[in-house]
Amino acid sequence: MEQESRLAGTVRPGGRTAKVRAAVLQATQDELVERGFHGLNMEQVAARAGIGKTTIYRRWGTPAGLVTELMTELAAQSSPPPDTGSIQGDLEANALNVLGAINDPHLGATFQAVIAAATCDEGAARALRAFYGRRIAEWAKVADLAVARGDLPAGTDGEELIKAVSAPLYYRLVVTREPVDHETAVRSVTRALIAARAGAFVTGDPDPAGPTGVDAEGEVSTGPASNGATATRTTRRSRP
Amino acid sequence: MEQESRLAGTVRPGGRTAKVRAAVLQATQDELVERGFHGLNMEQVAARAGIGKTTIYRRWGTPAGLVTELMTELAAQSSPPPDTGSIQGDLEANALNVLGAINDPHLGATFQAVIAAATCDEGAARALRAFYGRRIAEWAKVADLAVARGDLPAGTDGEELIKAVSAPLYYRLVVTREPVDHETAVRSVTRALIAARAGAFVTGDPDPAGPTGVDAEGEVSTGPASNGATATRTTRRSRP
DNA sequence: GAATTAATGGAACAAGAGTCCCGTTTGGCG
DNA sequence: CGCCAAACGGGACTCTTGTTCCATTAATTC
């Protein structure tokens, strides 16, 4: 079950351990590309890495553990946001960065694996949150710069904006499972930017554009039943 | 939660078979809520449903198979979009519908399970695409109505708009794994609507607002390989 | 470069998941 | 009502997955 799971060369970072780790992570990634997360097999990974399976179990415990460390590893390699000088350019850089990651065979497989792992393993979920928390916070800076330049309304929530740019891409990757292409990425930027310029990302202000006012307070309750805002509703209960 | 779901396609839709099916799907859902997808155990489901495990294996084969059928079942129960009379109200109804599904213990667990299953099982992936394809197409009609009323620019792509409203919610559910609340839903509507009114969802027109022109092709590079539009999905079946 | 000790590897072992066989039950139909 | 085919159930069986034990290897320390 739960092993020591001492992460990356904690105690003895010496050459052998590091080599084992590298070989295992590499094998894990290759296996993910070929068979996906659910096909990830500890014994198979061990064989591929040329490592005894005892070692794999001892250090990583489960497939989710392997994937979690792989994600941690990738997190360390993520590129910092460039400052292209325009918020448009920066957001596009972000979108294309995500696009590239999603469509890269290795990275795409890894992300999907971690997402899958996170639905069942708390460690993977933490790694995922940590990764995106950091990444989003980092990219949010470009929005702050834009605000400082006067390119965006004061008070714009940078993190929300970055999320808004990325969301449609991941949504397609994971939920609707459509191919995600360059145009999707660019459009996502355009749409988010329009909303941002209109002040829709200003903190604590859900109702920026007068006529588009949100009257909210529909309150949801009843399971999946729809329950909106204005006018008539055909409230229908689906089966809980 | 006694579902009398009878949907078959089976050769013998008679009483016993249907009861077995209902019991198994119910047990599956309960197990998903308690243990998640990766904890889904065929033997456990069989025991809980009071059904021989041979039957489970024979009819559904794998955990992914169980989850896939569960999703198909839920798809049949999804509620149709209301026509609230305003695009704002309709989109909010959609967002709250999604919100309710995500936050419902049973539905939320099921969605996450199917999403996880879809990353490795082609059947689950198909079911997922089918479900959202239908759902989105159905809700897209409210956008068409809005266009007819003059509430939205002519040529607005309804499906894209619906996706834009849902994406941030699923993104939070699956990727950043933050709680998804009412405000998130409402803001998602606001933002999408602003972009829609500005024409950002008009088909084949990625550059509606002049000054917000997209110069694209900046190409990002760094870190994760960037890659124009190569949609490589690596899904693979588990076992027969 | 010898001692010390963490880390690894291999093989046997235990647990469980998935399959198979075959007898029993049930629904459809004349 | 009685027959037949389809579906179910139980239990034995097999193969995969995960664990344990202990000898071996190699990094660190002095």
SS (H, E, C) chain A: CCCCCCCCCCCCCCHHHHHHHHHHHHHHHHHHHHHCHHHCCHHHHHHHHCCCHHHHHHHHCCHHHHHHHHHHHHHHHCCCCCCCCCHHHHHHHHHHHHHHHHHCHHHHHHHHHHHHHHCCCHHHHHHHHHHHHHHHHHHHHHHHHHHHHCCCCCCECHHHHHHHHHHHHHHHHHHHCCCCCHHHHHHHHHHHHHHHHCCCCECCCCCCCHHHCCCCCCCCCCCCCCCCCCCCCCCCCCCC
Chain A neighbors of B197, CB-CB under 8 A: 212
Q: Whole-angstrom Cα distance, residue A203 to residue A158? A: 9
Lowest mean pLDDT among A150-154, A155-159, A223-227, B94-98: A223-227
**pLDDT tens digit sequence for B105-115:** 999 999 999 99
CA distance A90 to chain B (A): 10
The span from the CA of B89 to the CA of A231, in Å, is 7
Contact A200/B194, CB-based, under 8 Å? yes
Token code pair at residue A148:
């400082």
pLDDT, position A74: 86
Q: Side chain identity at A138, as an amino acid letter?
A: E
User: Is residue B81 predicted with pLDDT exceeding 80?
Assistant: yes
Q: Find the nucleotide nearest B17 (Cα to C1′).
A: D7
Burial B150-183, CB ≥16 within 10 A → b, else e? ebbbeebbbbbbbbbbbbbbbbbbbbbbeebebe
Q: What band does A214 get if pLDDT is binned at 50, 70 and 90?
A: very low
Nucleotide nearest B54, CA–C1', reads D9
Look up residue B48 and give its amino acid. Answer: R
Rounded to two decimals, the ipTM of the complex is 0.83
B122 CA to C17 C1', in Å?
22
pLDDT at residue A13, rounded to an integer: 64
List Cα–Cα distances, B178 to A121, A126, B29, B124, B204, in angstroms. 16, 11, 23, 25, 33
A15-53 pLDDT per residue, tens: 788 899 999 999 999 999 998 888 899 999 999 999 999
Q: In the structure, how far is the CA atom of residue A116 from the C1' atom of nucleotide D22, in angstroms?
A: 37
| Nucleotides on strand D lying under 7 Å from protein C-beta | 6-11, 16-21, 26-28
Which pLDDT value is given to residue A204?
Answer: 66
Could you check: is the Cβ of residue B39 within 7 Å of any atom of nucleic acid strand D? Answer: no
Taking the C1' atom of every nucleotide in all shown strands and the CA of B240, the nearest one is C18
Å separating the CA of residue A11 from the C1' of nucleotide C3: 19
Q: Which of A12-16, A129-133, A209-213 has the highest mean pLDDT?
A: A129-133
Nearest chain B CA: its distance from A15 CA (Å):
26
**pLDDT grade for A66, boundaries at 50, 70 and 90:** very high
As a whole-number percent, the residues of chain B with pLDDT over 90 amount to 65
Q: Which positions on strand C lie below 7 Å from a protein C-beta?
A: 6-11, 17-21, 26-28
* pLDDT confidence of residue A25: 95
Interface test with B, best of A191, A221, A222 (most B CBs within 10 A): A191
Q: Which amino acid, residue A182?
A: H
- pLDDT digits over A167-203, tens only? 999 999 999 999 999 999 999 999 999 999 999 999 8
What's the pLDDT score for residue B66?
Answer: 96
Task: Tell me: pLDDT of A217 over 50.
Answer: no
Distances (CA, A) of A185 to A164, A169, B126, B214: 11, 7, 24, 11
Count of residues in chain B: 240
CA–CA dist B180, B177 (Å, integer): 9
Question: What whole-number distance in Å separates Cα of residue B208 and Cα of residue A189?
Answer: 12
Render the burial of A164-199: b for 16+ CB within 10 Å, e for the rest: bbbbbbbbbbbbbbbebbbebbbbbbbbbbbbbbbb
Contact A100 B225 (CB under 8 A): yes
Beta-carbon separation of A164 and B166 below 8 A: no
Q: pTM here? A: 0.83
Q: CB under 8 Å, gap of 24 or more: what pairs does A24-31 form?
A: A24/A49, A24/A51, A24/A55, A24/A56, A24/A59, A24/A60, A24/A66, A25/A66, A25/A69, A25/A70, A25/A73, A27/A51, A28/A66, A28/A67, A28/A70, A29/A70, A29/A106, A29/A109, A29/A110
- What is the rounded average pLDDT for all residues in chain A? 82
What nucleotide is nearest A43 when CA is compared to C1'? D17
The CA–C1' separation of B228 and D25, in angstroms, is 47
With CB atoms and an 8 Å threshold, state whether B168 touches A170: no
